[in-house]
Amino acid sequence: MDIKKICVIGLGYIGLPTASMLATHGLRVVGVDVNPRVIETLRGGGLHIHEPGLRTLVQAALGSGNLTVSETPEEADVFMIVVPTPFYEDKRADMRAVTAATEAIVPYLHRGNLVVLESTSPPRTTVDLLRPILERTGLKAGDDFYLCYSPERVLPGQTLRELIENDRVIGGVNRPSAEAGRDLYSLFVRGEIMLTDATTAEMVKLMENTYRDINIAIANEFARLAERFGVDVWEAISYANRHPRVKILRPGPGVGGHCISVDPWFLVEAAPDLTPLILTARRVNDKQPTFVLHLVGRALGGDLNGKRIAALGLAFKADVDDLRESPAVEVAYLLSEHGARVRAYEPFKPDAVVEGVENMPTLAEALADADALLLLVAHTELRKLDPAEVKQLTPARIVIDAVGGWDAAQWRLAGFTVYRLGDGKE
């Protein structure tokens, strides 16, 4: 397929890096986002998301003239849909952004075009949602234009490298569509490109994140059991993982982000009668913030009312600025709801707004006047804190580690009482 111009709809954590990557590989790219603030920020030379190396890549793409940004699509050879797919309160997939993006393409779709959906979606979205909308043009998917699904598989914090190096799964509504998708991704992907049908590709992405969710759930249950049985779960996991066929993951305050905490629900929604294990794992991980709440309550004598807590980290995982579905945010909110005065410090998003929580611009401000310190995210900056230096910044002498990020012995040596999630030996 001859590709000269690409329209990328959605300039978030995946869309913007992808659009910039394609532009720096010599393609003309128009990046589209319905949020005018995103467009205004990019046109002004700013960046609305944090990802290592992304600023340099975006500036190079814009500076080359190959990348432009707009609030509306334009005619192109390829249309890529990279918009969010969150869920409603009842855990059903919210496909409004995907639907709107697909409908926005219709006036510009021509014979020979390629449409690619990257947004994580329930099985059969490509064939049952996108195809009927696009065929309103009178063109037939697979015959007159190509249609495929190719999920992103990158790790936040490693996005730019993994966009290039990771293997790619491309599922077409027919073989020519999958091959057209291969023509697109082979422009920058060095990993192996595997071709299949669209629904299989959708299933692959959901399986990958559901597998991880289930494995995190068992780690969280082990942490709960360890507390009950008087065991240090971190010690027990280190020994269990010496078995050549065992790899237990790390427990924590829960599961967040736009993938692992969301994708399993798509399978539960699509086939509730076949997914009791997936549903149970989701419920385990969704309830984990409550167990952290109880740990903090125990550390502070059972009464949180009026207690001043420094919550360190709000992102859904270490060294990223993404707060979507973050269990750390949920813990901070629960503490506030139970009467605690919560001051948070999120180094990657100091301007984040969380209901009931005062997000401080500096660590020192978050620590001042605290009764206890609560580590919620294992950001490198927070893991490397020197307890002797921290002691000079706060009257708090209680620390609660919800992620296994601190050396308990060092903090005790500095004069702190240490509580750790999953440590029943305390």
Domain residue spans of the chain: 5-197, 239-420
> Average pLDDT, whole number, for the chain?
95
- 68-81 per-position pLDDT tens digit: 999 999 999 999 99
pLDDT of residue 1: 86
Mean pLDDT of 376-397: 97
Distance CA 198, CA 101 (A): 18
pLDDT of residue 275: 97
CB 183 within 8 A of CB 22: no
pLDDT of residue 102: 98
Residue labelled with tokens 């620390």: 399
Mean pLDDT of 365-375: 97
pLDDT of residue 59: 95
Task: Kindly tell me if the per-residue pLDDT of 143 is higher than 80.
Answer: yes
pLDDT of residue 156: 82
140 flagged as catalytic: no
Distance CA 337, CA 304 (A): 10
* Helix runs in 87-197, H state only: 96-105, 125, 131-134, 159-165, 175-185
- C-alpha triplet 44, 49, 53: angle, nearest 5°: 90
Going from the C-alpha of 183 to that of each of 14, 177, 189, 387, the distances in angstroms are 19, 10, 10, 53
pLDDT of residue 375: 98
Task: Kindly tell me if the per-residue pLDDT of 426 is higher than 80.
Answer: no
Main-chain dihedrals φ then ψ at residue 228, nearest 5 degrees:
-70, -35
CATH: 3.30.70.3270, 3.40.50.620, 3.40.50.720, 3.20.20.110. Which one for 239-420?
A: 3.40.50.720
Distance CA 83, CA 43 (A): 20
- 224-253 per-position pLDDT tens digit: 999 999 999 999 999 999 999 999 999 999
Active-site entry in 205, 247, 307, 391:
205
Paired tokens of 151: 């999920």
CB 87 within 8 A of CB 93: yes
Distance CA 127, CA 134 (A): 10
Of 152, 145, 113, residue with least CA distance to 131: 145
Of 349, 276, 355, residue with least CA distance to 317: 349
pLDDT of residue 194: 98
Task: Kindly tell me if the per-residue pLDDT of 207 is higher than 90.
Answer: yes
pLDDT of residue 50: 85
Task: Kindly tell me if the per-residue pLDDT of 257 is higher than 90.
Answer: no
CB 19 within 8 A of CB 11: yes
- Sign of dihedral through CA atoms 93, 175, 192, 82? negative
- Sign of dihedral through CA atoms 394, 395, 397, 402? negative
Of 238, 248, 168, 239, residue with least CA distance to 212: 248
Same fold flag, 5-197 and 239-420: yes
384 flagged as catalytic: no
Task: Kindly tell me if the per-residue pLDDT of 196 is higher than 80.
Answer: yes
5-197 CATH fold: Rossmann fold (3.40.50)
Going from the C-alpha of 379 to that of each of 20, 48, 63, 315, 383, the distances in angstroms are 27, 20, 32, 9, 6
Give percent above pLDDT 70 in the chain. Answer: 100
Mean pLDDT of 270-281: 97
- Which 3-state string (H, E, C) describes 328-346? HHHHHHHHHHCCCEEEEEC
Which residues neighbour 340 within 8 Å (Cβ) at sequence distance 6 or greater? 296, 304, 305, 306, 307, 308, 309
- In three-state secondary structure terms, 356 is coil
pLDDT of residue 157: 83
pLDDT of residue 367: 97
Length of the chain measured in residues? 426
Burial state string for 232-246 with b = 16 or more CB within 10 A and e = fewer than 16: bbbebbeeeeeeeee
Half-sphere exposure of 154 toward its Cβ, with a 13 Å CA cutoff?
22
- 15-26 per-position pLDDT tens digit: 999 999 999 999
pLDDT of residue 361: 94
Of 196, 187, 192, residue with least CA distance to 150: 196
Active-site entry in 7, 148, 259, 317:
259
pLDDT of residue 281: 97
pLDDT of residue 241: 98
- C-alpha triplet 22, 24, 27: angle, nearest 5°: 50
Task: Kindly tell me if the per-residue pLDDT of 8 is higher than 90.
Answer: yes
Residue 89: which pLDDT band, with cuts at 50, 70 and 90?
Answer: confident
